[in-house]
Amino acid sequence: MEQKRDTLLWIGLTVASALLAIEPVRWLFTSWRDPSYQSYGAVYCIVLVGLVGLSLKSSPPGGPAIAGRVFVLFLFAALIRLAGQMLAINILSALALSLDVFALATVLRLDRRKLALSPFWMATFFLFALPLGPILQRVAGFPLQMVSADLACQMMSPFFADLICEGVRLRLNGVDVMVDLPCSGASGLLLMVSLWAFLNILYRPRLRVAVLGGVAVIGLSILGNALRISLLAGGLGQGIDTMAPTLHNAIGLVTLMVSAAPVLLVYRPAAKPLSLPSWQIPALPKSLHIPMVAVALVAALAIVNAPKRPLDLSAPVVAARLPMQLLGARATPIALSETEQRYFTAYGGTAQKVQYGPMGLNIVRTTSPLRHLHSPETCLLGMGYSVQFMGTRYDPLPTSVYEATGPDGRVWTVAVSFISDDGQQTPSVGEAVWSWLGGSSRSWQSVQRVTPKSLPEQDRISFENAALAALDL
């Protein structure tokens, strides 16, 4: 049996853990409220809270308490929190909260009740409360695009003889279909993997079985996304507007259900709870309990106030030389917000905003695209705009096009291209980040052109051509 701990010791550790959790919890709540994170993390937390309530209500716990693990978990959480603080990566600090979930489920002995739940898989499920979607798109979006496009090409080839596949571009009956970043399947993949984690909470399978199930779930998700792309592209090739919101969403929902059905119907692993060690803490003299509490509190305060030393700072970059006028309209510099100024001061890179009459040009330059580059919707959603992705075009540059409606009802067309110093051009921030992670194309810039939607098409084209020519692009 575990030795009894002094109440003061555990109160001290609880307070220290709370100090470590304050900032990550605040950031997590912000990610749920801020539209720019595109997060539904609160839903996952509500599901977890509901499961805890049902388990607590089902029966009293059986077996001995195993709270001895909590101290070791506190140490691991403290180290993760320290890394997140020093590297200035909010989501890394928030990862430590999953250990708090594990510790809480362990102390409540949820795995020893009539409705038994796995603390390990509860902690895993909690990870989906973090804003993983945008991160997955930026880090793994491009390879997911490539895999999905290749599978969709193989699915469609037997039915369309004139199909031409070029990387993430599919050409069918004269229609050019781009498997762009929103079509990477990152959102569907996260939903499928979260379903797998939820089932593991209930079934508590052995780890090997769970891992094999996870691999199968990922495969089903990728195949389902390829099927979705095949239906969308095939419809466009046959003259059906599958990009219309209602039909587009219906196809996505049906293919997601097709992917999830085998998981719900077949995945029934036998319970084999993870056998984690019950770490023992050597008995301490009572005289050391108060010093131990003091050490834990001082360590927690030191961690939350540790200086930031991020590794992904941008090297010094030269700001773009923006034209003084375009198409007769003089340049009017737009001041960066206080948040933008502070951000680029702390992490390097440059950002410039210039207005030419009703048209705008925004340039960001950096050698750390994972830190600084993002799609326009990230900022626009945070500013209260509603944003719709309109597709990709390749003239005059590979460009992603968005339609943004402001709080005042004005509608804008936002076109963005990502260009490296060695000449690589892409409409996808995911491809830019992937190239950077692979060690090539170290310096990148995003070139964003903003025009009123009411602007005649020829005038928009003239503005974009003039802006790109002035930037020597």
How much is the pLDDT for 283? 53
All structural domains of the chain with their residue ranges: 7-118+284-304, 133-189+205-266, 325-470
pLDDT of residue 169: 84
If you write DSSP's letter for every residue of 46-90 in order, what string do you get?
HHHHHHHHHHHHH----S---TTHHHHHHHHHHHHHHHHHHHT-H
Residue 3: burial class (beta carbons within 10 Å; 0-12, 13-18, 19+): exposed
| The two structure tokens encoding residue 338 | 């206080």
List the structure tokens of 314. 């941008």
Q: Would you say how long the chain is, in residues?
A: 473
Per-residue pLDDT, 370:
86
- pLDDT reported for residue 3: 44
Tell me the pLDDT tens digit for each residue of 105-149.
Answer: 888 888 888 899 999 999 999 999 999 988 888 888 889 989 999
Neighbour count for residue 101 (Cβ, 10 Å)? 21
Q: Which two tokens stand for residue 283?
A: 């008995």
Q: What is the arithmetic mean of pLDDT over 80-89?
A: 85
The CA distance from 104 to 70, in Å, is: 8
Give the per-residue pLDDT at 396.
Answer: 83
Q: Does residue 296 or residue 124 have the better pLDDT?
A: 124
Task: Examine the pLDDT at 67 and tell me if it is beyond 50.
Answer: no
Tell me if 369 sits within 8 A of 436, measured CB to CB. Answer: yes
Identify the pLDDT of residue 285. Answer: 63
pLDDT tens profile 187-212: 999 999 999 999 999 999 998 999 99
User: Is 275 a residue whose pLDDT tops 60?
Assistant: no
Helix (H, G, I), strand (E, B) or coil at 417: strand
The stretch 461-468 carries a mean pLDDT of: 91
What pLDDT is attached to residue 176? 78
Please say whether the dihedral angle defined by the alpha carbons of residues 293, 297, 300 and 302, taken in this order, is positive or negative. negative
Please name the residues in contact with 392: beta carbons below 8 A apart, sequence gap of 6 or more. Answer: 178, 180, 398, 399, 400, 401, 427
**Cα distance between residue 76 and residue 313, in whole Å:** 26
Query: What is the rounded (10 degree) CA torsion for 420, 426, 427, 430?
Result: -80
* Average pLDDT of the residues of the chain: 86
Question: For residue range 420-448, what is the model confidence (pLDDT) as tens digits?
Answer: 988 899 988 888 998 888 887 889 999 99
Asked if 308 and 343 count as a contact pair (C-beta separation under 8 A), the reply is: no
Asked if residue 359 lies in contact with residue 413, where contact means CB atoms within 8 angstroms, the answer is: no
- Structure tokens given for 65: 């308490």
pLDDT reported for residue 276? 52
